[in-house]
Chain A
Amino acid sequence: MTTATVKKIRRAFTGNEAGAEAMRQINPDVAAVFPITPQTELMHAFASFVANGKVKTELVMVESEHSAMSATVGASAAGARAMTATSANGLALMWEIVYIAASSRLPIVMPIINRALSGPINIHCDHSDMMGCRDSGWIQMFSENSQEEYDNLIQAIRIAEHPDVLLPVMVGQDGFIISHSLESVEVFDDEEVRDFIGEYHPKNPLLDTDHPYTFGPLDLQDYYMEHKRQQHQGMQNARQVILDTGKEFGEKFGHHYSNFEEFHLEDAEIGMIALGSTAGTAKVAVENLREQGKKVGLLKLRVFRPFPFKELVEAVKHLKGLIVLDRSDSFGAMGGPVFLDVSASLNNLTKKPVTRNLIYGLGGRDMKVQDLEKIFGMMEKTVKTGKGAGSSQYYGARGDD
């Protein structure tokens, strides 16, 4: 499949180092950051690039994440390619400005090292941080491993800055599970990466003092809704841009990306939807079960916003059973956030797969290959007996199994 001829080298990188390497090659004009575990390593690595002149970035070490996002918005509106990075509580503190970044149509790219939101305080992985701002108007991608973190960040710049999109992008990687695990990563030639992302041409930047623009005006009943409609359209336009960018990236670098990856899904009877590192673990479970003759498959969701509902339905509609894994809860809802969107997507099918939702892995609770094999077994039973169909429950919590 690989036709790519670009120069590349293999490096042993943690997810954080892979993120920092992508940032080095992106070489943003400004980065404004504040430390939080497990994002810290990424910023340490990037700060050392700055300290050693490997990038031309102005690094602004702000006094909080609220100011990190605020300064990033300022820098981006000024006309700079601007980035920041955070986790959990940091993202929560940014919240107000996360929305402002999107509605100001600023193409900021932000690695998120996924960590459980407090409380209770916890530093390990789940997706409650990013899922909490799934309606903020940011494009959201999840990475299975360090390679994807690197690849996604590079693509994110192109997607965010596309004139039909102009929306910020957050790229998630699982805290510790990916961010602190050493993996082999293919790193592409600096020039080729820079060539791929291209020069940034900002729209109406503040620093163009000959052409003054007002950013962030008061927008009342007479115009607010049109601006939201335009923002909505930007997100709709992102669907095609994400696919085109993934294709172009594949042609150039040999790593092919779409909204999701199908793994033994085509002829499967029981399917699973997972995102992040769990998708990697699930691939092993699928392979093991396939060896035993079980017709199981996986859909690894990469793009969560915009949610690829049409394509997803096409990919899963033939299944007898579909188990949806959520690494965060949506308290009081019918299930976790992924399940909600998947269920809504399936709504118009006359013949739908039997579905089930499991909320797992909160605060870094492990999800092993054996767990995933067991879950496929559970789903097989649900298909046969109907027991548990449509339900959402916790998996792996004491007293629940």
Chain B
Amino acid sequence: MAKTEMKKKRKIDIMAEMPERLSSGHRLCAGCGASIAARQILRGTTDPVVISCATGCLEVASTIYPYTAWEVPFIHNAFENSAATISGVEAAFRSLKKQGKIPKNKKIKFVAFGGDGGTYDIGIQSLSGALERGHDFVYVCYDNEAYMNTGIQRSSATPFGAFTNTSPAGSCSFGKSQFRKDLTMICAAHHIPYAAQASIGYWQDLVKKAEKALAVEGPAFLLVLAPCPRGWRFPMEKTVEIGKLAVDTCFWPLYEIENGVFKLTKKIPDKKKKPITEWLKSQGRFKHLFEECNENVIEEIQQKIDEDWQRYLKTNGDKIF
């Protein structure tokens, strides 16, 4: 194909023509952000991939025996060990290649998926270990901000003020009373070549980050906001919109840390920065915050977002690790 012809093709068309790695027919909910994340990220490379996945929605809904939605080799081991499992797979690849049992020029990308529960919480040790050891893999946390597979329980990714079944709102509670852990920074602090935060709402940004993560040698980490209609209480056709709103309110800044250098990949000009109430109003999980007694909670959330955003603006371009 002539170069000019190639050039004419838009990224989205090229992506649309790429083979589907997570096929349709899986049983994730309509409007699930996790499947969008998986499909977009796996378009970040044309090399063969091998996937490991933690227990959670993505795994249980895509591999109900005797069916599988995965068109690529896939292993689910347990809840907390997606990273440790891919460590073993990747070590096997290196070993067999070294011995000539796999051709020297064979390329495989190793991708580990985990939900926020399987990553921020129960799987953080195994993730930390795998990052520190330097395996050549990409860890993707699809973050739907709670344990959804088991019926919407809080995780350390659940945002301040959100309702879950284990952080319910009530006469003595405004929902979750802790802010989320900053997982991307924790991962970047392992001095890995690439870590980034993305949202399925901004697919071009996400795919670009996936391409970078998949291309680097050594460990890379992607934290992808994956809105959940069931758990967040919004209509299923709004997933992408909500994924955008998270970014536009600066609730979910898009950034990357490449070789230790922090960079905002989407700067939101002050006049375009939407108030957090827009984000909170879009989802039933924050409904209680609009009761009179919880006004101060919304203020606190806005304040934290503003502080963090200022810090990100100040840090932009700095070598932080």
- Which one, A71, A209, A217, contacts B87 given CB within 8 A? A71
CB-based contact B68/A70 at 8 Å: no
Determine the residue in chain A with the shortest Cβ distance to B73: A206
CB-based contact B129/A62 at 8 Å: yes
- Which one, A56, A60, A61, A209, contacts B88 given CB within 8 A? A60
Q: Does A5 interact with chain B (Cβ within 8 Å)? A: no
CB-based contact A96/B92 at 8 Å: no
Instruction: Assess A213 versus B73: contact at CB under 8 Å? Given A32-B91, A71-B84, A207-B89.
Output: yes
- Complex interface bits, B54-84 against A, C-beta within 8 A gives 1, otherwise 0: 0000011001111010111111111011001
CB-based contact B87/A67 at 8 Å: yes
CB-based contact A60/B74 at 8 Å: no
Assembly CA distance A67 to B99 (angstroms): 25
Q: Does B278 interact with chain A (Cβ within 8 Å)? A: no
Q: Which of A153-203 contact B (CB under 8 A)?
A: none
Determine the residue in chain B with the shortest Cβ distance to A214: B68
CB-based contact A63/B128 at 8 Å: yes
- Complex interface bits, A287-325 against B, C-beta within 8 A gives 1, otherwise 0: 000000000000000000000000000000000000000
Q: Does B52 interact with chain A (Cβ within 8 Å)? A: yes
- Which one, A76, A207, A212, contacts B71 given CB within 8 A? A212
CB distance from A86 to the nearest CB of B (A): 15
Determine the residue in chain B with the shortest Cβ distance to A216: B76
* Chain A CB within 10 Å, residue with most, of B70, B71, B81, B88: B88
Assembly CA distance A79 to B71 (angstroms): 18
- Which one, B63, B85, B102, contacts A214 given CB within 8 A? B63
Q: Does A36 interact with chain B (Cβ within 8 Å)? A: no
Assembly CA distance A79 to B75 (angstroms): 12
Q: Does A338 interact with chain B (Cβ within 8 Å)? A: no
Q: Does B316 interact with chain A (Cβ within 8 Å)? A: no
CB distance from B181 to the nearest CB of A (A): 19
CB-based contact B87/A219 at 8 Å: no
Q: Does A73 interact with chain B (Cβ within 8 Å)? A: yes
Instruction: Assess A74 versus B87: contact at CB under 8 Å? Given A66-B80, A217-B63, A217-B65.
Output: yes
Assembly CA distance A274 to B93 (angstroms): 43
Q: Does B180 interact with chain A (Cβ within 8 Å)? A: no
- Which one, A29, A63, A79, contacts B129 given CB within 8 A? A63
CB-based contact A32/B89 at 8 Å: no
Instruction: Assess A212 versus B73: contact at CB under 8 Å? Given A207-B50, A207-B92.
Output: yes
CB-based contact A74/B92 at 8 Å: yes
- Which one, B60, B72, B132, contacts A63 given CB within 8 A? B132
CB-based contact B81/A66 at 8 Å: yes
CB-based contact B86/A74 at 8 Å: yes
CB distance from A46 to the nearest CB of B (A): 15
Assembly CA distance A32 to B70 (angstroms): 27
| Chain A contact residues: helix, strand, loop or mixed | mixed
Collect the chain B residues with CB atoms within 8 Å of residue A100's CB.
77-78
Q: Does A82 interact with chain B (Cβ within 8 Å)? A: yes
Collect the chain A residues with CB atoms within 8 Å of residue B126's CB.
63-64, 66-67, 70
Collect the chain B residues with CB atoms within 8 Å of residue A56's CB.
95, 98-99
CB-based contact A58/B89 at 8 Å: no
Collect the chain B residues with CB atoms within 8 Å of residue A349's CB.
none
CB-based contact B88/A66 at 8 Å: no
Determine the residue in chain B with the shortest Cβ distance to A34: B129
Q: Does B94 interact with chain A (Cβ within 8 Å)? A: yes
CB-based contact A60/B96 at 8 Å: no
Assembly CA distance A186 to B247 (angstroms): 68
CB distance from B126 to the nearest CB of A (A): 5
Instruction: Assess A62 versus B87: contact at CB under 8 Å? Given A30-B92, A75-B92, A80-B92.
Output: yes
Collect the chain B residues with CB atoms within 8 Å of residue A29's CB.
92, 95-96, 99
CB-based contact A70/B77 at 8 Å: yes
Collect the chain B residues with CB atoms within 8 Å of residue A66's CB.
80-81, 84, 126
CB-based contact B52/A209 at 8 Å: no
Collect the chain B residues with CB atoms within 8 Å of residue A216's CB.
63, 75-77
Instruction: Assess A217 versus B68: contact at CB under 8 Å? Given A62-B84, A206-B73, A207-B73.
Output: yes
CB-based contact B73/A60 at 8 Å: no
CB-based contact A67/B129 at 8 Å: yes
- Complex interface bits, A31-70 against B, C-beta within 8 A gives 1, otherwise 0: 0100000000000000000000000111011111011001
CB-based contact B91/A60 at 8 Å: yes
CB-based contact A209/B91 at 8 Å: no
Determine the residue in chain B with the shortest Cβ distance to A68: B84
Collect the chain B residues with CB atoms within 8 Å of residue A70's CB.
77-78, 81, 84-85, 87-88, 126
Collect the chain A residues with CB atoms within 8 Å of residue B317's CB.
none
Collect the chain B residues with CB atoms within 8 Å of residue A215's CB.
74-77
CB-based contact A207/B78 at 8 Å: no
CB-based contact B59/A30 at 8 Å: no
Collect the chain B residues with CB atoms within 8 Å of residue A72's CB.
88
Q: Which of A1-47 contact B (CB under 8 A)?
A: 29-30, 32
Q: Supply 15 further A-B pairs (C-beta < 8 A) apart from A71-B91, A213-B74.
A: A30-B91, A30-B92, A58-B92, A60-B133, A66-B80, A66-B84, A67-B81, A70-B87, A73-B88, A77-B89, A78-B92, A79-B92, A213-B73, A215-B75, A215-B76
Give 23 CB contacts A-B under 8 Å: A30-B91, A30-B95, A32-B91, A58-B94, A63-B126, A66-B126, A67-B126, A67-B130, A70-B87, A74-B77, A74-B84, A74-B88, A74-B89, A97-B81, A206-B89, A208-B73, A209-B108, A212-B71, A214-B68, A216-B75, A216-B77, A217-B68, A218-B76
Instruction: Give the A-binding residues of B (Cβ under 8 A).
Output: 48-50, 52, 59-60, 63-66, 68, 70-78, 80-81, 84-89, 91-96, 98-99, 102, 108, 125-126, 128-130, 132-133
Instruction: Give the B-binding residues of A (Cβ under 8 A).
Output: 29-30, 32, 56-58, 60-64, 66-67, 70-80, 82, 96-97, 100, 206-209, 212-220, 223
Q: Lowest 8 A-B CB distances belong to which pairs? A: A74-B88, A63-B129, A71-B88, A78-B92, A80-B92, A209-B48, A67-B84, A75-B88
